Structure 1
């Protein structure tokens, strides 16, 4: 079909400096505004100068322990100043940071440790997580190349204390840290970030220094319009791009970056008010609803907030703006593969644009919509697969050339597997082509859950689909066919999953089937999705109970 070509480049802003690295950003900031607050958490904060000092001490210790350029160093910590120190310290040493999702359980954690070729793991206790138990699951075979685990919690066999680890810094000259950092190039890998895909286990996305830094520059300048007078609030985890890129944006210009730490609505509301936050970045409904529905919210003075970034339905975005009409809602489409935002609306765009679309591409990024069948670009307004390319595109999947070749074509376009259309140069997200769920902002591969469920002796076949949920957007619903003579309950499925896979991946609904809706050799999953959606709608169920609440909505379909 003929029509306008939708290879779109937003040309409204400069592309940003391509020659920067994470270490370079911190050094430049320390020269320009050393006493400004680089990062703040509810109970502690670090100036730019203090952050650089601690990062360089850690970098020296890493070098003293034999870490070389390109070596992988894992981070398993709560959101904190120590996490930020680790991220920049690894960068200053010329190594690659591997942030580990704090919600991973034994299966995913062991996979990342082995697959990423970690040499050192920096770990600390976190509220609501048993990292000590997780570290205890690492046997010799699970460690792979892992030589050292630095643990700041109670004494744990096979680990060393941070103060003991840092003694190695004394034998490393400061000039060696500078030499290592100066040797890092913008196209070198800065972060190996694991994200769920269509394979059974998380895939490692290789993100370059230049991608992160240039993206932070462009997003901060052209979409957030950040200045040194801003105070940016972010509750997203530091193991996500949504925690890292905005932080770098703020450090670049001298804005204060306030992180929620372990999110709590009461604490968050207090910080938003007392710190006079100017930009709020909740992103996901579970977070912003917790604040807007807080009993103290209407009496809180949030008038300093000039912009809020959320990802939600048009109806929910409109309601958000009704609650705080002085703070325009902006929305986005992004992914780990695009180093956070691919598109982002702007606060001065028309209301309808901000409600219906996710905006234009960030400067220097391109997108197009193609037919999933032919790969040919479609006409404006038609639906198809979203593809993008540009400086912020990830370099590829670590140790997975097949997956990289399947998703990045010969012209550099990354095929997202997402369904979308474009109107007037702005992206409208339509859903997923590939078999993925998005649970409270987390990408979850249905296949990953299915592969785990069939390990249960009672389950012969498992198919996982997205069930609509008012709180998380989507939650997993499992349809299973049992082994002959077997039986299983929702409680048994939960017990089988708890502490083995991340809680957000545990099926909230279980349905037992004898036959599958088939299309040739494939299960028609859309029929299963329609089935669970209709059932929940008929029963007036809008929100799934938590896994530990032992849902009582099980049944047969």
Structure 2
């Protein structure tokens, strides 16, 4: 059985040991850029020197506003060398959310880039979020009203405005300063990350994650799946999402190769598969994996080295994916920022039924309960309720929100996830959706995930998402958004005919809309935007 290492290293200590063992092995590939372990450590040490040249030290906050890129990785690791706390910012956030995170985290420095201006203009976004920034100067320290902690903004690539420090100027400043003493490496209990969770009705919340969180989960994951130096882990998830950072950490812990990309792109993915044949595919979401499977290159690509494919979704989609990768095992997972990304995994020894209908077993060291959401009393085995968890890589609380932190925990330390699930006596967890995805249709409970799973049984349906819509008679009713499979045709009447008589009438969608693109959060479909759009169309509140 896997166990947690008692003498847990800090993040930086672990990476340095790996780099000493595998200096010339490719560590990280992002798009077409690559870095060996030795190169990565040296680049990270230089980034630490640059941060020290700006006056940052242990406990200071460094915000990273950029997509996956080598600069992101170097600053993340460089900060870990000197105890600077990293605050990754979701690049989909707009000015209001950006301002909140910079203010709430107390970030002293922000690092951003102009390399993706055609996708997101971060300079413009920062100007909107920080009134008065455009008129400021980077000489000395910034003084932006309402953001007392913010002193510097570093900008990579061309077009650096006067209020920001260019990468060249930063390099010169660090090079002319005395070489700093790095001091002792931060230990496992030192705060490493503040991950902001995406809120739909409130401002994002900052999850406090010490070094122990990433290191512990990475060790357990590597052990469970026997990840080693010969593995190539393909993961297109963004690093401002805990999943991207976690699985890079898994690789860096054991000398494996991590392959990712700045933005998910099917052509780039297949180019990477050709150059770096993967042994693990971790797209995790159907919105990433299904386009890969629909691409012409899929049938001509050799996936024989792939051992595991990770995805979460309805049973029908899971079975479809398993059939598409006959030489690999389809596995599922469950977790969130508060649990450092992962708290359960399917096991390679699980049956196909278990791997397609559950999200697996809890990691070693974790305990879980299924409880009544109102009373917090444990329900009978197999009965549904709210998932409550406790374990070694549970977050240390929400930044600046002690009351919310206390509210979300039981007296004996279990975190109330807000997720709906059921657990078999074997310990396998069934994820039934977010509690807020539970609809009350005329007094009847309806799970959005259940309706989505049923709709996915139709071969014409590539992906279905179900949201609650206000209804005068029933309180709320289900509405379905459907992306069709390539070449398929389907009408609203077809969908309703598919449902009627096969599922309970109160579960049948009252509204059906067809989409070709999905509004996305960091990694998932932003359901609240679907709901908002349809409510506006129907004139509902």
TM-score class normalised by the smaller sequence: 0.7 to 0.9
Instruction: State how far apart, in whole Å, the 1-side matches of 2:217 and 2:38 are.
Output: 23
- TM-aligned CA deviation for residue 274 of structure 1: 3.2
Of 114, 119, 130, which residue of structure 2 is paired with 1:128?
Answer: 119
Say if 1:344 and 1:81 are closer, same or farther in 2 by CA, change over 3 A: same
Say if 1:396 and 1:261 are closer, same or farther in 2 by CA, change over 3 A: same
Compare 259-268 and 45-54 and name the one that shifted more. Answer: 259-268
Aligned counterpart, 1:353? 354
Residue 27 of structure 1 aligns to a residue whose secondary structure is helix
Aligned counterpart, 1:554? 537
Residue 385 of structure 1 aligns to a residue whose secondary structure is strand
Instruction: State how far apart, in whole Å, the 2-side matches of 1:302 and 1:531 are.
Output: 34
Query: Any conservation in 2 of the 1:228–1:256 contact (CA below 8 Å)?
Result: yes
Aligned counterpart, 1:118? 107
Query: Any conservation in 2 of the 1:211–1:393 contact (CA below 8 Å)?
Result: yes
Query: Any conservation in 1 of the 2:466–2:480 contact (CA below 8 Å)?
Result: no
Query: Any conservation in 1 of the 2:466–2:478 contact (CA below 8 Å)?
Result: no
1:280-304 deviations in Å (ceiling 9; x for gaps): 0000111001100002211222222
Equivalence map 1:273-352=2 (5 Å): 273-352=274-353
- TM-aligned CA deviation for residue 144 of structure 1: 3.5
Compare 327-336 and 407-416 and name the one that shifted more. Answer: 407-416
1:491-513 deviations in Å (ceiling 9; x for gaps): xxxxxxxxxxxxxxxxxxxxxx8
Query: Any conservation in 1 of the 2:194–2:209 contact (CA below 8 Å)?
Result: yes
Equivalence map 1:373-392=2 (5 Å): 373-392=374-393
Query: Any conservation in 2 of the 1:197–1:436 contact (CA below 8 Å)?
Result: no
Aligned counterpart, 1:541? 513
Say if 1:121 and 1:540 are closer, same or farther in 2 by CA, change over 3 A: closer
Say if 1:478 and 1:363 are closer, same or farther in 2 by CA, change over 3 A: same
Of 211, 216, 219, which residue of structure 2 is paired with 1:214?
Answer: 216
Instruction: State how far apart, in whole Å, the 1-side matches of 2:162 and 2:50 are.
Output: 21
Instruction: State how far apart, in whole Å, the 1-side matches of 2:434 and 2:303 are.
Output: 36
Structure 2 unmatched ranges of 5 or more: 132-143, 440-447, 456-460, 483-494, 497-507, 520-528
Instruction: State how far apart, in whole Å, the 2-side matches of 1:102 and 1:409 are.
Output: 33
Aligned counterpart, 1:52? 41
Aligned counterpart, 1:152? 156
Say if 1:229 and 1:399 are closer, same or farther in 2 by CA, change over 3 A: same
Say if 1:419 and 1:79 are closer, same or farther in 2 by CA, change over 3 A: same
- Alignment TM-score, normalising by the size of structure 1: 0.79
Say if 1:545 and 1:19 are closer, same or farther in 2 by CA, change over 3 A: closer
Say if 1:93 and 1:107 are closer, same or farther in 2 by CA, change over 3 A: same
Of 13, 17, 33, which residue of structure 2 is paired with 1:28?
Answer: 17
Query: Any conservation in 2 of the 1:471–1:543 contact (CA below 8 Å)?
Result: no
Say if 1:516 and 1:130 are closer, same or farther in 2 by CA, change over 3 A: farther
1:373-419 deviations in Å (ceiling 9; x for gaps): 32221221011110111111000000011110110222111011111
Aligned counterpart, 1:202? 204
Pair 1:94 & 2:83 matched: yes
Residue 513 of structure 2 aligns to a residue whose secondary structure is coil
Query: Any conservation in 2 of the 1:63–1:172 contact (CA below 8 Å)?
Result: no
Aligned counterpart, 2:432? 430
Pair 1:13 & 2:18 matched: no
Instruction: State how far apart, in whole Å, the 2-side matches of 1:209 and 1:120 are.
Output: 20
Say if 1:473 and 1:531 are closer, same or farther in 2 by CA, change over 3 A: closer
1:437-494 deviations in Å (ceiling 9; x for gaps): 9xxxxxxxxxxxxxxxxxxxxxxxxxxx999696776477776xxxxxxxxxxxxxxx
Instruction: State how far apart, in whole Å, the 1-side matches of 2:354 and 2:35 are.
Output: 38
- TM-aligned CA deviation for residue 235 of structure 1: 0.3
Question: Which has the bigger relative contact order, CA under 8 A and spacing at least 6?
Answer: 1
Say if 1:89 and 1:388 are closer, same or farther in 2 by CA, change over 3 A: same
Instruction: State how far apart, in whole Å, the 1-side matches of 2:48 and 2:410 are.
Output: 37
Residue 204 of structure 1 aligns to a residue whose secondary structure is strand
Say if 1:146 and 1:471 are closer, same or farther in 2 by CA, change over 3 A: farther
Instruction: State how far apart, in whole Å, the 1-side matches of 2:315 and 2:267 are.
Output: 26
Query: Any conservation in 2 of the 1:369–1:384 contact (CA below 8 Å)?
Result: yes
Pair 1:170 & 2:142 matched: no
Say if 1:371 and 1:347 are closer, same or farther in 2 by CA, change over 3 A: same
Compare 139-148 and 301-310 and name the one that shifted more. Answer: 139-148
Query: Any conservation in 1 of the 2:477–2:510 contact (CA below 8 Å)?
Result: no
After superposition, the CA RMSD in angstroms is 2.9
